[in-house]
Amino acid sequence: MNSATATIFRPPTLSILPPNSYNLTPPRIQYKPNQSNPRTISTRSLQISHRKHITPPHPPEHSTTTLTVAEKLQILDTEFKSLPEPIDRVKRLLHYASLLPEFDESGRVESDRVTGCTAQVWLEVTFDVEGSMRFRVDSDSEITKGFCYCLIWLLDGAAAGDVLEIRVDDLGEMNVGILPIRASSRVNTWHNVLISMQRRTKALIMEAYGDPSLPLLP
């Protein structure tokens, strides 16, 4: 991502905290053609949906399609900066957690586990016919779920190239400590989630195109 783009975009309504206003429960695109075999829908699945992204029931102020990943990143950064008190960050994260649709127990499959986290995280990665990446995440930790909501808001529906360009550092503000966390740490579950999103994105693209650089070109 071009960091210049990220800093230029300053919508006047930033203080309204867009992620908060989004309803993240659009009717999910069904990637499970064969329900009798849920294992095949794991990250390796290449069933490409032919349905388009569906507008959420309550359209957000800015439609998702008009915001680039860079712009969303900026919004997230500003949002976290506006909450200097950890307690407020925790509250916001718990709110987001409540917006994140839970997996049903059968969705929490071992093959979707993001390993190396202090909390358990399950991540489902697929991509649709437009080449947009689709992510679903669930966790047994509420704070982690809150972070995951932010990641989903940021990257669900994004182009693979945009997903791969995000750096942990771009989300430096996303923490509940007063110290900005500079180094990637095992303790920061969402770092692992982001890295998993990217690794699985790459794997899917590799599988589909045999060459990771192909669909990543602008």
Partner 1 sequence: MMTMEGVVLKLPSFTQLMNPNHFTNRTSLNFRFTFPKYSSSSTASLSVPAAAPVSLGHSTRPDFEILHQKVNNGSKLVYLDNAATSQKPSAVIDAVNNYYRSYNSNVHRGIHFLSARATDEYEMARRKVAAFINASESSEIVFTRNATEAINLVAYSWGMSNLKPKDEIVLTIAEHHSAIVPWQLLSEKTGAVLKFVSLTEDEVPDTKMLQELVSKKTKLVVVHHVSNMLASVLPINEIVQWAHDVGAKVLVDACQSVPHMVVDVQNLGVDFLVASSHKMCGPTGVGFLYGKSELLAAMPPFLGGGEMISDVFLDHSTYADPPSRFEAGTPAIGEAIGLGAAIDYLSEIGMQKIHDYEVDLANYLYESLGTVPGVRIYGPAPSATVHRAALCSFNVEGLHPTDIATFLDQQHGVAIRSGHHCAQPLHRYLGINASARASLYFYNTKEDVDDFVRGLVDTVDFFNSFK
> What amino acid positions are annotated as catalytic residues?
117
CA distance 99 to 97: 5
Q: What is the DSSP letter of 79?
A: H
Residues contacting partner 1: total by CB under 8 A: 20
Beta strand ranges found along 72-127 (DSSP E)? 121-127
CA distance 114 to 140: 12
Are the C-beta atoms of 130 and 52 separated by less than 8 Å?
yes
98 is a contact residue toward partner 1 (CB under 8 A): yes
DSSP character string of 152-198:
HHHHTT-BHHHHHH--GGGGTT-SSSSS---S--TT-HHHHHHHHHH
174 is a contact residue toward partner 1 (CB under 8 A): no
Q: Which of 11, 141, 165, 209 binds partner 1 (CB under 8 A)?
A: 141
Residues within window 6-65 making contact with partner 1, judged by CB under 8 A: none
Q: Which of 6, 67, 137, 143 binds partner 1 (CB under 8 A)?
A: 143
CA distance 46 to 127: 8
Beta bridge partners of 113: 122
Nearest residue (CB) to partner 1, 177 versus 210: 177
Nearest residue (CB) to partner 1, 10 versus 91: 91
Residues within window 117-136 making contact with partner 1, judged by CB under 8 A: 118-120
Nearest residue (CB) to partner 1, 39 versus 91: 91
Minimum Å gap between C-beta 75 and partner 1 is 23
Q: Which of 61, 102, 130, 140 binds partner 1 (CB under 8 A)?
A: 140
Interface residues with partner 1 (CB under 8 A) are: 85-87, 90-91, 94-95, 98, 118-120, 140-144, 176-178, 189
